[in-house]
Structure 1
Amino acid sequence: MNGCRFAPNYSGFVSSDYSARHLSVLEGLEAVRKRPGMYIGSNGSRGLMHCLWEIIDNSVDEALAGFGDHIEIVLHADDSVEVRDHARGVPVDVEPKTGLSGVEVVFTKLHAGGKFGTGSYASSGGLHGVGASVVNALSERLDVEVDRDGKTWAMSFHRGEPGIFDDKGKEPSPDAPFTPFENRSELRVVGKVKKGVTGTRVRYWADRQIFEKGATFNVDDLQGRARQTAFLVPGLTIRIDDERAAGVGDAEVTHTEFRFDGGISEFAEYLAADTPVTDVWRVTGSGNFTETVPMLQANGAMVATEVERTCEVDIALRWGTGYDTTVRSFVNIIATPKGGTHQTGFEQGLLRVLRSEVEKNSRRLKAGNDKVEKDDVLAGLTAVLTVRLPEPQFEGQTKEVLGTPAARNIVGKVLGDALKERFSSPKRDDKAQTSLVLDKVVAEMKSRISARAHKETQRRKNALENSTLPAKLVDCRSNDVAHSELFIVEGDSALGTAKLARDSTYQALLPIRGKILNVQKASVSDMLSNAECASIIQVIGAGSGRSFDLEQARYGKVILMSDADVDGAHIRTLLLTLFFRYMRPMIEAGRVYAAVPPLHRVVSINPGSKPNDVLYTYSEQELQGVLTGLERSKRRYQEPIQRYKGLGEMDADQLAETTMDRRHRTLRRVRVEDAEMAGKVFELLMGNDVAPRKEFLIDNSDRLSQERIDA
């Protein structure tokens, strides 16, 4: 900060000698430095991001209160981060109880702030008054500038201690000489602003004595959280500038900006990856409750007082054709990933209404006497649940679980009343959509019951007990699941060769005919009625969808073995779609593989009676490299080069050596690093919507080598 000048003396400042002053400021913050995990979760990248969001949330709370609609976040090249807003600005006047300026109170005192029911905020994300002070305690340097009252006020801190950094006209740095205040703190005036201009800028350098060496700000996580916040606060613009890579090679500053005016309805549409069964239903309402809280009296005493609270509820929900559930819950725009009383009320209200509606329509739905369970109702549901209430009770500073008991009943009642009204609505559109929801819930219930019965009968059996498995399964002899392998083989011709090539002790074979059903487009019932899909699920023996139990899987590895051509790649993609949608734990556990058969067989001719060498190549580029190497060493090879069009063209010895023998084969393990992103890719490539897929193929056509296409 430039142009440092001393502000007028504050009459309320307390004088003391330097050492005592030093201890009085750090006595609370020292606990933060000793046990940072208690306040920010960890001292790794997660904790680093938590600190940043403590500062950002202060600006977001201002926007929620109606002050400021623009927040800027800058990741500087020197590993510092800056947050700017145009809200009211941190108070700069003297807080009478401490005799300190509002800026120093906010950034040095735990459990101090404007969010304890003083009327500054009706609802906010920062509730414990420790966010800014915790970040300050865990920062090697923190600078704050406040535009207020026609002036720019500034203050700097070193690991929580207020003082002055001597930057000597250079860029601010935590390594600059630091002089702590000895007798009194000074809030400096460093400039002037136009009348009515207000805002706060906070820049800090995380303390590397606290955080792990590899801890970094993850821009993807930051963008995801910023996007989420922009959805939750309609009309708020959040801009992220990443300057860290600027000047390195051709890299430039990256700018990302988020603004959404549709609120959580738009958020639900963004989160949903499957084809919709219903439109986004919006539910709003509120409820009052009383609670007893300790209130600070004028004499400094804490007195238990009963206060009236209002809990506002806003929900957006829609059902899709899939079975995955995405429910995001928030309290005062703070995410509660582990749920809490509000999410419990949401699930109970949803289940209560849909159970009642299924019972009313049981004859039409042919539901019988079976009871709908929570998983049946949540299948295919995408929902965003937000509640706003003053001083919610969270479990810990990380605010991952809401504990306010009254929220459960209020959310359940608001949602229940709205759903009852929609299900009894005479409007044609409402009737059509509610009917589809009931059909889906009952279909999920029947599928769950069927899958459970199927799973109970499909346990690992020996060869004599194997009568319930498909006749075309060629099982292995071993009962050791960890070392057994199931090869899903394309076609009967390849099956014949694979039978001779396999090790029957631990390798089982299941042939499929042609291309299986594209389950991304099909319903659950269509998938279960498809012979090939049903056989695969039956042979693996762990159920499907929500009832899938990884521990019951009959094989340690599932290996997809298809031809090395376009049709083979398509079959492999269809099989992976089946596993991703209905047996995803197999992929997540790293138990699904793709075999890598060779494309070419090169016979290198040796002189005399020495046996010829056989070389296998797996790409056109590798083939050319092998041939070039043979020519350079003046070795001959048989022509024409054998090009495998399918697995059936291989001899058993060749298939065993290249694709099935554990000593020589190559397998590709199928992984899911980001399930949400993978789901969107599957929907793009395998879903019903043709236009985005066509656009994707056209845009990426130049990245495909013609040599990879079998003409």
Structure 2
Amino acid sequence: MTTEYSARHLSVLEGLEAVRKRPGMYIGSTDSRGLMHCLWEIIDNSVDEALAGFGTKINILLHHDGSVEVRDTARGIPVDIEPKTGLSGVEVVFTKLHAGGKFGSGSYAASGGLHGVGASVVNALSARLDVEVDRGGKTWLMSFKRGVPGVFEDTGAPTPDAPFTPFTEFGEPALRPIGKVAKAKTGTRVRYWADPQIFTKGANFQMDDLIGRAKQTAFLIPGLGIAIEDSRGEETESHAFEFDGGISEFVDHLAPDAAITDVWRLTGTSTFTETVPVLTDGGAMVPTEVERECTVDIALRWGTGYETVMRSFVNIIATPKGGSHQTGFDQGLLRFLRAQVEANARRLKAGNDKLDKDDVLAGLTAVLTVRLAEPQFEGQTKEILGTPAVRAIVASVVSGQLKERFASTKRDDKTQTALVLDKVVAEMKSRISARTHKETQRRKNALESSSLPAKLVDCRSNDVETSELFIVEGDSALGTAKNARDSEHQALLPIRGKILNVQKSSVSDMLSNAECAAIIQVIGAGSGRSFDLDAARYGKVIIMSDADVDGAHIRTLLLTLFFRYMRPMIDAGRVYAAVPPLHRVVQINPGSKPNETIYTYSEQELHDLLAEFKATGKRYQDPQRYKGLGEMDADQLAETTMERSGRTLRRVRMGDAERASKVFELLMGSDVAPRKDFIVEHSADLSRERIDV
């Protein structure tokens, strides 16, 4: 260190050198996330071509040597000479920062690329990059090593370690033809090897992220086919996506619950003016007022659940952190539905309470897309849209299109709009009720206790970790379980018969159902989006139903309740199903030796046990078949089902919430036809002995 500081201490980084020195400024990080960002930059260039109407196929290949290749059938990068630099279009795109066809030159009406740094940044951060262009009846090739154009002398498969000769002004041209193609054939192929000097050792391409992004893009551009081929493992993994339904099909794909409305499309186009610097022929930047066109396309639908699934895009580029377009969507939706609730307050019994954003977004699945030229993003990662005028345009489209929908005289539209208003008001009431309950609980002093259902047989311990709540079927099972339980740690809650099927019931119906309300009240953590796992009163919730068809149905109904309204309990692995025995077999021992009791838990297990007895000549009493927990003695129930030392519990897991939701909807939803098809298809797999007839 020195105290001297003069101009000679300043560093000037030229061209791509700045990218290699500070890569995080351009790609966010140098781990897997940054590696994937580089791949998005190359893919998005092909996607912008498809968005502009050129090219219908994009292929992404992950090679076994760690390189990645992106192919398209678009116009191809220009190969002619750019007049200002004297370089070919390919060299300009891959070596010059802030160079490209997306600065208002007329090549793209709307694109995701804006700053002209994507391809050049990837080039700078690659140990090797090869680009082939089919254009003008020829195939053109250009190669780079860490951003420097030149020629690799490959003796076999291409590799970054091959001898490399940098391009010189008087040497071989950097862009050279290597073959001929049909004049009508155009396209670009980019293959690159990420530089290990830049990226961390553990950085690799994330296949799940790549598949998700490819599928998402195929939804957003109907008719575009995107194929992925991963050859890094022992076996090649392939995926292909192409959708014709656009964002309406995307919404159906994303939705986690049963629908209460069809997918609605809200579209509109408007213009706005903004002042931008324009480069004149003389090289001066002059502030100029230009008129922009903004196209809005939204697909949305409400479902029976309370989760919100929202995806927003600007020119096909995802904006996970929102921005002005999403703000306009939220404002337009909330303002319109507030007005509708106020106009129908008497029918909806809404009082003077007002909706908030969470009320209208509950159960909503929506895809919001806007397209405009030169949008203003916050940073190169393009996660937030900053163009201010878009907010008012989106809000206007949302409120205007919904006004037409709610004013429609069609029967389906009237039914669905009424269901939407009922849902958002029910969410508002639920929110207000939960807030009132929390305030009431805060006001209680230490001498007061909350009023739990009278039928709850609680345990003495207040230790959540060791306490268990058994939900039992009927009073007869309750009587046996009372004598079988460990009263210090095990609580009992009886339910009468089959509870409400919450999969096809509204929130208000669920809350007004005595059995559902009792379960939610006893667990004490709320329901829906207000559920607080830390407030749950029991460490385990164990469903203990009879080992028959009705018991299985009751267990399914209870699991549906937990899945829909107390899902964090399942996520945390705190919901279990008891496994009571199906049979009791008494083995008769000779002499004074006491008889031995054996429990079996399936028909096959009983069959194997009896076969063993016959083979060994052992005597036994006729097996007893338990059809209900009430048939068991307390000591038998304790020994087999409730005592921790000898019982078997099945933990309810939910590794894939989306798949689980679809299964719940198939088995418990209001749409009968798919369920009927499922039953017919799998009827041959059903054992007649399992049916109580």
TM-score, normalized by the shorter chain, greater than 0.5:
yes
Residue number among 458, 475, 491 corresponding to 2:458 in the alignment: 475
Q: Name the structure 1 match of 2:20.
A: 30
Classify 1:158/1:133 alpha carbon distance in 2 versus 1 (closer, same or farther; 3 Å): same
Classify 1:141/1:182 alpha carbon distance in 2 versus 1 (closer, same or farther; 3 Å): closer
2:638 paired with 1:669: no
Aligned residues between the structures: 677
2:348 paired with 1:360: no
Classify 1:371/1:118 alpha carbon distance in 2 versus 1 (closer, same or farther; 3 Å): same
Aligned pairs for 1:129-148 within 5 A: 129-148=116-135
Q: Give yes or no for contact 1:458–1:541 (8 Å, CA) kept in 2.
A: no
Unaligned 5+ runs, structure 2: 1-12
Q: Percent identity?
A: 74
Residue type of the alignment partner of 1:58: N
Q: Name the structure 2 match of 1:377.
A: 360
Q: Give yes or no for contact 1:59–1:85 (8 Å, CA) kept in 2.
A: yes
Cα distance in 2 between the residues matched to 1:710 and 1:41: 62
Classify 1:213/1:624 alpha carbon distance in 2 versus 1 (closer, same or farther; 3 Å): farther
Which region of structure 1 is more displaced relative to structure 2, 353-362 or 343-352? Answer: 353-362
Residue type of the alignment partner of 2:44: D
Q: Give yes or no for contact 2:149–2:167 (8 Å, CA) kept in 1.
A: no
Classify 1:441/1:195 alpha carbon distance in 2 versus 1 (closer, same or farther; 3 Å): same
Measured after TM superposition, the shift of residue 436 of structure 1 is: 3.6
Cα distance in 2 between the residues matched to 1:164 and 1:692: 60
Q: Name the structure 1 match of 2:187.
A: 199
- Structure 2 residue matching 1:520: 3-state secondary structure: helix
- Structure 2 residue matching 1:481: 3-state secondary structure: coil
- Structure 2 residue matching 1:511: 3-state secondary structure: strand
1:129-181 deviations in Å (ceiling 9; x for gaps):
3333343445454332110121101123445444444442x44445x524141
Q: Give yes or no for contact 2:35–2:203 (8 Å, CA) kept in 1.
A: no
Aligned pairs for 1:391-430 within 5 A: 391-425=374-408, 430=413
Q: Name the structure 2 match of 1:106.
A: 93
Residue type of the alignment partner of 1:351: L
Q: Name the structure 2 match of 1:5.
A: none
Q: Name the structure 2 match of 1:311.
A: 294
Measured after TM superposition, the shift of residue 41 of structure 1 is: 5.5
Classify 1:231/1:670 alpha carbon distance in 2 versus 1 (closer, same or farther; 3 Å): same
1:425-449 deviations in Å (ceiling 9; x for gaps):
5566544443343333323323333
Residue number among 518, 521, 533 corresponding to 2:504 in the alignment: 521
Residue type of the alignment partner of 2:162: P
Measured after TM superposition, the shift of residue 558 of structure 1 is: 1.8
Q: Give yes or no for contact 1:319–1:437 (8 Å, CA) kept in 2.
A: yes
Aligned pairs for 1:602-613 within 5 A: none
Classify 1:532/1:637 alpha carbon distance in 2 versus 1 (closer, same or farther; 3 Å): farther
Q: Give yes or no for contact 1:238–1:259 (8 Å, CA) kept in 2.
A: no
Measured after TM superposition, the shift of residue 300 of structure 1 is: 5.6
Residue type of the alignment partner of 1:522: S
Measured after TM superposition, the shift of residue 578 of structure 1 is: 0.8
Measured after TM superposition, the shift of residue 56 of structure 1 is: 1.9
2:214 paired with 1:226: yes
Q: Name the structure 2 match of 1:342.
A: 325
Residue number among 474, 486, 490 corresponding to 1:507 in the alignment: 490
- Structure 2 residue matching 1:71: 3-state secondary structure: strand
2:84 paired with 1:84: no
Q: Give yes or no for contact 1:462–1:479 (8 Å, CA) kept in 2.
A: no
2:22 paired with 1:39: no
Aligned pairs for 1:94-173 within 5 A: 94-168=81-155, 170-173=156-159
1:280-322 deviations in Å (ceiling 9; x for gaps):
3322223333444454555666565554333221122233344
Residue number among 44, 50, 57 corresponding to 1:63 in the alignment: 50
Unaligned 5+ runs, structure 1: 1-22
Residue number among 233, 238, 242 corresponding to 1:258 in the alignment: 242
Q: Name the structure 1 match of 2:642.
A: 660
Which region of structure 1 is more displaced relative to structure 2, 622-631 or 482-491? Answer: 622-631
Residue type of the alignment partner of 2:669: G
Residue type of the alignment partner of 1:29: V
Q: Name the structure 1 match of 2:175.
A: 187
Q: Name the structure 1 match of 2:436.
A: 453
1:389-414 deviations in Å (ceiling 9; x for gaps):
22223333332322222222221122
Residue type of the alignment partner of 2:174: E
- Structure 2 residue matching 1:153: 3-state secondary structure: strand
2:569 paired with 1:586: yes
Q: Name the structure 1 match of 2:674.
A: 692
- Structure 2 residue matching 1:84: 3-state secondary structure: strand
Residue number among 672, 679, 682 corresponding to 2:664 in the alignment: 682
Cα distance in 1 between the residues matched to 2:491 and 2:268: 57
Cα distance in 1 between the residues matched to 2:124 and 2:548: 60
Residue type of the alignment partner of 2:421: L
Aligned pairs for 1:459-498 within 5 A: 468-498=451-481
Q: Give yes or no for contact 2:15–2:97 (8 Å, CA) kept in 1.
A: no
Classify 1:563/1:100 alpha carbon distance in 2 versus 1 (closer, same or farther; 3 Å): farther
Measured after TM superposition, the shift of residue 706 of structure 1 is: 7.2
1:240-275 deviations in Å (ceiling 9; x for gaps):
445566x75xxx764523131x43233334434545
Measured after TM superposition, the shift of residue 346 of structure 1 is: 0.6
Cα distance in 2 between the residues matched to 1:647 and 1:389: 66
Cα distance in 1 between the residues matched to 2:67 and 2:219: 27
Q: Give yes or no for contact 1:48–1:217 (8 Å, CA) kept in 2.
A: no
Measured after TM superposition, the shift of residue 89 of structure 1 is: 0.6
Measured after TM superposition, the shift of residue 492 of structure 1 is: 2.3
- Structure 2 residue matching 1:358: 3-state secondary structure: helix
Q: Give yes or no for contact 2:97–2:116 (8 Å, CA) kept in 1.
A: yes
Cα distance in 2 between the residues matched to 1:613 and 1:214: 61
Cα distance in 2 between the residues matched to 1:100 and 1:607: 101
Which region of structure 1 is more displaced relative to structure 2, 121-130 or 641-650? Answer: 641-650
Cα distance in 2 between the residues matched to 1:196 and 1:686: 55
Cα distance in 1 between the residues matched to 2:655 and 2:287: 50
User: Over aligned residues, Cα RMSD in angstroms?
Assistant: 3.7
Normalising by structure 2, we get a TM-score of 0.86
- Structure 2 residue matching 1:313: 3-state secondary structure: strand
Measured after TM superposition, the shift of residue 207 of structure 1 is: 5.0
Residue type of the alignment partner of 2:552: A
Measured after TM superposition, the shift of residue 351 of structure 1 is: 0.9
Aligned pairs for 1:262-277 within 5 A: 262-272=245-255, 274-277=257-260
Classify 1:52/1:613 alpha carbon distance in 2 versus 1 (closer, same or farther; 3 Å): farther
Q: Give yes or no for contact 1:328–1:335 (8 Å, CA) kept in 2.
A: yes
2:318 paired with 1:331: no
2:548 paired with 1:560: no
Q: Give yes or no for contact 1:51–1:135 (8 Å, CA) kept in 2.
A: yes
1:202-234 deviations in Å (ceiling 9; x for gaps):
23344566255484442x544443332222223
